[in-house]
Structure 1
Amino acid sequence: MNLLIVGAGAAGLMAAGAALESGHAVTLLEHSGLPGKKILVTGKGRCNLTNNCGEETFLQNVRTNPRFLYSALYAFPPARAMDLFERLGVPLKTERGRRVFPVSDRAEDVRAALLRYAAGARFEAGSARELLLESGRCAGVRTKEGRTFLADAVLVATGGVSYPGTGSTGDGYKLAKQAGHTIVPPVPSLCSLVSPDPACKKMMGLSLRNVTLTLYRDAKPVYSELGEMLFTHFGISGPLTLSASSYIKDMEKHTWSAGIDLKPALSGEQLYQRITNDFALLANKSAQGALAKLLPASMQPVMVERWGVDPATHANQITKEKKQALVRLIKRWEVPIARRGDLAHAVITAGGVSVKQVDPRTMQSKLCPGLFFAGEVLDLDAYTGGYNLQIAWCTAQAAARAL
C-alpha cells in the first residue's frame, strides 16, 4: 500500500517507521524543512518521551477523551514505546514522576532514532493545501506549491497550533474540515499563566527551585506539586506552571490563583524559628537585609513591600506578629491568575479534530475512507510527564497497523 503522511513530526515519523516495517511504501510531506523539529524543544531539550506507567494509570492522566485512547494505548503502551526506542539505539532512564528520558539527556537522540526508523520513506518538501477526494474517498493531496501526491491512504499528523515556528501551524485542521470533520476550537494547554500582579514583573527572570505550587479554583486546591517555576514580565512560567495550567477549565466561570510555598521543607513553626535566628544574627540590618539568608535578592524588596514593614526597620525591632505574618507570606505567596498564556507559546494544543468522527481502533475517519489522523491534531491532550508524546506514538502505531 502507498501511504502519504502529511507532517514529519513525532506522530508522522513514528507512523512512517511502523508502516515501513509492515512493508508499505511511505511518502512523508513536511513543510518546515526539518523533520521532528518540535521534538528538539520538548522536555527543555531533553525530550520526556513517555511515562513509565501502566495503561490504567496512563489513562487517568489523559485530560481530554481518555476513553478514545483505550484500544490504541493497550496495543502500544509505554513499555512498548520504551522497547522500541532502546531497539533504535536510545538508552533510557526513568526520573521523578515516572518520566522517561534518554540517558544522554539529548532530545536530538530521540529525533535521530525516529529518522532511522523512518529511513525507508521518501521525504518531500511542501505544504498540503487540500485533500484529493474521489467518490468520497481520500486519494491524496495537492500542495500549495501546485504539486499532486496520490496515495492509497493519507495520514494527517500535522500537530496543533502551538510553537508555530516548529511547523505546527494548524494546516491539519483545514484538511480535516474539507472532509467534513468538526474541529474542537484549539486552546493552549501546558502553558504559562498571565497574572495582573505587578509583583511578577518586578521579579521577572527569577527562577525558583524546590518550591511547591498549588493551583486554587475558587479558593479550593485542585493541583499541587514540588518543583521549579519562573516569574516573568506577564506572570509565571516554568515546569510547575505548565503542569498547573492543564488543570484549568472554564476559566471565565471561576476565580483562579496560584499559591507558592517558598520553603516547603520547613513547617510553619520551623520557619518561624529560622526567621527568629536569622533576625538575631542580622539584628542591625534593615528589614530587607534581614531576608538575605532566606530569599533570593530580587524577591527581598517585593516581599518587604507585601509584608507591610517599613524598609528602614531593623531586624531586632520586628515584632512576633510581624514574623508570623512573614511566615504566612513565605508559606503561601499568592499569584492571581487572569488567563492562560497564548497558543503560540503553549507546549500542547487542546482541541482539534473531534474524536467522535474517528475510529479509535484504526484512527481512520468515519466520514472519509482512506483518511487517517494521529497525534496532536486530534482532540486529545494530557498532563505533563511524557503522556502527550505517548499519545502521538500509540495513535501513529494504530494508524499504521490499520493499513
Structure 2
Amino acid sequence: MTLLTKNKSVIVVGGGAAGLMSAIHSAWSGAEVIIFEKNPRPARKVLITGKGRCNVTNNCSIETVMNNTPTNPKFLYSALNRFSPEDTMSFFEMLGVELKTERGNRVFPVSDKAKDIADALISCAESAGCSIYEKNIKSLIIENNTIKGVKDSNGIEYFADSVILACGGASYPKTGSDGYGYVLARQAGHTVTKIKPSLVPLESIESYCCDMMGLSLRNIKIDLLDTKTEKTIYSDFGELLFTHFGLSGPIVLSASSHIKEMESGRYKIIIDLKPALSEEQLDARILRDFSEFKNKDFINSLGKLLPQKMIPVIISLSEISEHKKCNEITRAERHRLLKLIKAFPITIKAFRPIAEAIVTSGGVSVKEISSKTMESKLVKGLYFAGELIDIDAYTGGFNLQLAFATGVVAGESAAM
C-alpha cells in the first residue's frame, strides 16, 4: 500500500520523543510523513519522565551534554550542534510551553506537567501535516540495500522513500519501548551492542536497606567503589532512597550508569551522611550529644543526628549496646560510630530489571550510522533516532536532549 505521494515520503516507526521530533522536522522540510505507533496514544514514555514533570533538557552547553553522556559522546557532536539545549527550549516555548530551570540546570515545564510536553509534540506533528496511525510494525522492506518501506503485524506493506526507526530501547516496555526496534535493526544487518539497564535502581546484599524502606536521605554524598580495582569510579551529592530491595533515588540512578560489568559484591556505595562536617567536626558534635544525654541509653542519644529509621541499623553495625549509657561509651566505640556516619556501606548485588530502568544502555552500533545524518551505512534511506542508538546519558534532562537532537537530524536528513 502506498500512502505517501509527495516528492519525498517518510515513515517514522515510533511515536515517542525522538519519533515525534523527527516526524515534525521531516514535515517541516517538505516531506509527507506517517508515524506508526503501537500505542493508542503517542509519547507515553514522555508522560512518566521526570516523575511526571518531564525534565525536558538541561540548560547547559553542548560540551556539558557530552560530558554527561558516558556512551559514545563524540558521535553526538554534530547532532548537538544542530539542535542544542537552547534550541530545545526555544522549540517548546515557540509551541507555547513555558519552561523553568531548576537545581542542576534541569529544565521543566512551568506547569510541572509532562502532559504539556507530550501534547505539544503531538499537536505540532499533527499541525505539520503528519499522519499518526496505531500500527505494530513487524518488519522492514529492503531491496538492493535500499529501504522501500515497512510491513505491519497484519502483513500490510507501506512504502516510502525513507524510514526512521525511533522505537526506543527496552526500558518501561508498557510504554512501547519493548526492544522490538533491535529486531528491526538486525533485519537490516545492523549490530546491536549488549543491552543492559542504565539509570536503574540497585539491589543490595545487606538486608538493612529493607529495614529502612521509604527513608529518603537528602544532601548526602556517595562514592561508588569498585572493589576489584579498589578505585572510586563515581561520586555525587544529592538525594537517595532506601527500598525493599536496596537503593534508588537520583544519585543512585546516575551511579548505576557507571557500573559496566555487574558482579554481585564487586561494587559498594559508601554514603557520607554528614558531608558538610569533617571527621573532627562530627566527633565534636557526637561528644556534645553524648554530653547532653550522658545518663541516657545510647539508643536515645542519636535522634538529633540521624533519622529514626536509621538509628537501629547504625546501632547494630556499630556493635555498641543500645542500652549502654552515653557516658560509658569508649573512644574506640565513638570512633566506630563516626566512621559509620561518614562511610555507611551498601554492597551492590545486582541491577533491578531493565523494565525498571529509565533508559537502556546499548543499542544499534554508532559505527554503522552516519553521525551527520543518522542514516544507516548499510541500508540507504534507513535512519535511526533516540534511545534505539547505542547512546545514553546521566539524569538531568540529557537523555531527552539526545532524543530530540538525533530526531531533528534524522528527520531533516530523511526528507532531503
Deviation at 1:154, TM superposition (A): 0.9
* Match 2:44 to one of 24, 32, 37: 37
Instruction: Please give the secondary structure, in 2, of the residue aligned with 1:329.
Output: helix
Partner residue of 2:5?
Answer: none
**2:147 aligned to which of 138, 144, 149:** 138
Give the C-alpha shift of residue 253 in structure 1. Answer: 11
Counterpart of 1:210 in structure 2: which amino acid?
N
Matched with 2:390 is 379
Residues 323-365 of structure 1: CA distance to partner in whole angstroms, max 9, x if unpaired? Answer: 2221111111011122222211111101111111111111111
Question: Which residue is 1:150 aligned to?
Answer: 159
Paired residues of 1:357 and 1:366 also in contact (CA < 8 A): yes
Alignment of 1:13-32 (within 5 A): 13-32=20-39
SS at match of 2:193: strand
Deviation by residue 1:187-232 (Cα, 9 ceiling, x = unmatched): 1111111211111122122111111111112332222111111112
Please say if residues 148 and 159 of structure 2, whose CA atoms lie closer than 8 Å, have aligned partners that are also in contact.
yes
What is the match of residue 72 of structure 2? 65
Q: Equivalent residue for 2:207?
A: 198
Any residues of structure 2 matched to 1:117-136 within 5 Å, and which?
A: 117-119=124-126, 120-136=129-145
Asked whether the equivalents of residues 193 and 339 of structure 1 are also in contact (C-alpha less than 8 Å), the reply is yes
Aligned to 2:223: 214
| Counterpart-to-counterpart distance in 2, 1:350 and 1:123 | 28
CA distance in structure 1 between the aligned counterparts of 2:310 and 2:295, rounded to whole angstroms:
20
Q: Distance in 2 between matches of 1:34 and 1:86?
A: 23
Aligned residue identity for 2:224: L
2:354 equivalent among 343, 355, 380: 343
Percent identity of equivalent pairs: 49
Answer yes or no: is 1:389 the counterpart of 2:396: no
Quick check: 182-191 or 334-343, which moved more? 334-343
Per-residue CA deviation, residues 230-275 of structure 1 (Å, 9 max, x unaligned), is 1122211111100111111233499311111111222222222222
Contact 2:263/2:349 (8 A) holds in 1: no
Q: CA deviation at 1:158?
A: 0.4
Question: Over residues 102-134 of structure 1, what are the superposed CA-to-partner deviations in whole Å (9 max), with x where a residue is unaligned?
Answer: 222221111111112211311111211111123
Q: For 1:247, which of 255, 258, 267 is the aligned residue?
A: 258
| Pairs aligned (count) | 403
Q: Aligned partner of 2:200: which letter?
A: C
Asked whether the equivalents of residues 128 and 171 of structure 1 are also in contact (C-alpha less than 8 Å), the reply is: no
Query: Which secondary structure does the structure 2 equivalent of 1:291 belong to?
Result: coil
1:147, CA displacement in angstroms? 3.0
- Residues of 1 paired with 2:271 and 2:235: CA distance? 9
Check the 8 A contact 2:200/2:356 in 1, yes or no: yes
Kindly indicate whether the alpha-carbon contact (under 8 Å) linking 1:29 and 1:123 is maintained by their aligned counterparts in 2: yes
2:265–2:347 contact (8 Å) kept in structure 1: no
Greater CA deviation, 134-143 or 255-264?
A: 134-143
Identify which range, 5-14 or 268-277, moves more after superposition: 268-277
Q: Which residue pairs with 1:174 in the alignment?
A: 183
SS of 1:388's equivalent?
A: helix
In the alignment, the residues of structure 2 paired with residue 358 and residue 277 of structure 1 have an alpha-carbon distance, to the nearest angstrom, of 62
Distance 2:248 2:89 in 1: 29
Residue type matched to 1:206 in 2? L
SS of the equivalent of 1:338 reads strand
1:113 paired with 2:113, answer no
Look up the match of 2:3. none
Partner deviation per Cα, 1:291-329 (whole Å, 9 max, x = no partner): 112111111111100010112212232223322221111
Matched residues in 2 for 1:225 and 1:174: separation?
Answer: 36
Report the counterpart of residue 287 of structure 1 in structure 2. 298
Q: Alignment partner for residue 9 of structure 2, among 2, 11, 18?
A: 2
Instruction: Encode CA deviations 1:148-176: one digit per residue, 9 max, x unaligned.
Output: 32222111100000111111001111111
| Residue type at the aligned position of 1:338 | K
The residue number in structure 2 matching 1:320 is 331
The structural deviation recorded for 1:136 is 2.7
Contact 2:26 2:411 in 1 (8 A): yes
Q: Are the equivalent residues in 1 in contact too, given 2:15–2:166 (CA < 8 A)?
A: yes
Contact 1:193 1:340 in 2 (8 A): yes
* Counterpart pick for 1:276 among 287, 292, 305: 287
1:386 Cα offset (Å)? 1.4
Where has structure 1 moved over 3 Å in runs of 4 or more?
Answer: 251-254
Aligned to 1:164: 173
Gaps of 5+ in 2: 1-7
Q: How far 1:80 sits from its partner (Å)?
A: 0.9
CA apart distance, 1:96: 2.4
What is the rounded CA distance, in whole Å, between the counterparts of 1:279 and 1:114 in structure 2? 58
Distance change (3 Å), C-alpha of 1:253 and 1:197: closer
Report the residue type matching 1:12 in the other structure.
G
Contact 1:88/1:116 (8 A) holds in 2: no
Q: Does the 8 A contact of 1:211 with 1:226 survive in 2?
A: yes
The match for 2:366 is: 355
Q: Which amino acid aligns with 1:388?
A: N
TM-score by structure 2 length?
0.93
RMSD: 1.6
The more displaced of 251-260 and 240-249 is 251-260
